[in-house]
Amino acid sequence: MNLSKDYPAKRSRRQGRGERYREGRPRRPDGPSFRLFVAVEIPEEATGRLVAWQRDFLAADRALRLVPREQLHITLIFLGQKSEEELVRVSGQLDELADEDPLTSFEAAATAMVGLPKGRTPRVIAASIEEPAGRLKSIHGRLAAALARKQLFQSQRRQFFPHVTIARARGRVRLDLDQMQPEPVKFTAVRITLYNSILKSSGAIHQALKTVQLK
């Protein structure tokens, strides 16, 4: 398994707090704990253009907290709190996925800004992603099914919606997103990465643990 040189990560004091108290009493997890998700990376040039979306359309709204440049990505699957042994199994599943059917790069585009969930009080502002070849949904579906079979992921009823979170609400958002028409951002996706999200008082830090190159 080819994990990054920074593995294992330091445990955050806030990490896993929800899991520890879910049963009504605190308990310490056995060994290191990781808050895992798998995402498609956005190339640097495209990331810069999404930052321009933030600057031109969102920066003036004090009810929004802009997502840092280094955290702009397309989340494929969020796994939540996992043990070190489970981390190894998730990493191995990424290798299996690539071995079964070589993962190829694909063209995609950020086309519009949307509020999620839809309605008057969105919690996040996101760039919706269009990908005509269907590679994003295919990779998500295969990965979710494989991890669910290994009891590493619980399938969700809601449909997968490819997007990049570019801002989070910290108050009532009054933007009319329908009136905002940023220039579409086209890019070629070439990498999938397994991340550990380390929660800190200053915000989350995303630590890359393993990267799979798309051919």
Domain annotation covers residue 81: yes
Quote the domain boundaries for residue 139.
17-213
Domain annotation covers residue 7: no
Residue 39 scores a pLDDT above 60? yes
Angle at 129 between CA 171 and CA 60, to 5 degrees: 30
Convert the pLDDT of each residue in 160-196 to its tens digit: 999 999 999 988 887 888 889 999 999 999 999 999 9
Convert the pLDDT of each residue in 105-123 to its tens digit: 999 999 999 999 887 788 9
Q: Which residues share a beta bridge with 206? A: 197
Domain annotation covers residue 191: yes
Task: Indicate if the alpha-carbon torsion angle 192, 197, 198, 200 is positive or negative.
Answer: positive
Token duo for residue 172: 């009532």
- Strands 106-116 and 185-189 turn out to be antiparallel
CATH number at residue 94: 3.90.1140.10
Number of domains within the chain: 1
Domain annotation covers residue 1: no
Residue in the structure block whose two tokens are 């190894």: 88
Domain annotation covers residue 42: yes
Question: Residue 172: what residue type?
Answer: R
Convert the pLDDT of each residue in 58-71 to its tens digit: 999 989 999 999 99
What string of DSSP letters covers 54-78?
IIIIITT-TTEEEPPGGG-EEEEEE
| Nearest partner of 47 among 67, 65, 61, judged by Cα | 67
| Nearest partner of 175 among 69, 67, 65, 63, judged by Cα | 63
Domain annotation covers residue 11: no
Q: What's the CA gap between 4 and 211, in Å, rounded?
A: 8
- Cis status of the peptide bond prior to 8, with omega within 30 of 0: yes
The 8-class DSSP code of residue 8 comes to S
Residue in the structure block whose two tokens are 């009493």: 25
Mean pLDDT along residues 48-64: 95
Residue 2 scores a pLDDT above 70? no
Domain annotation covers residue 149: yes
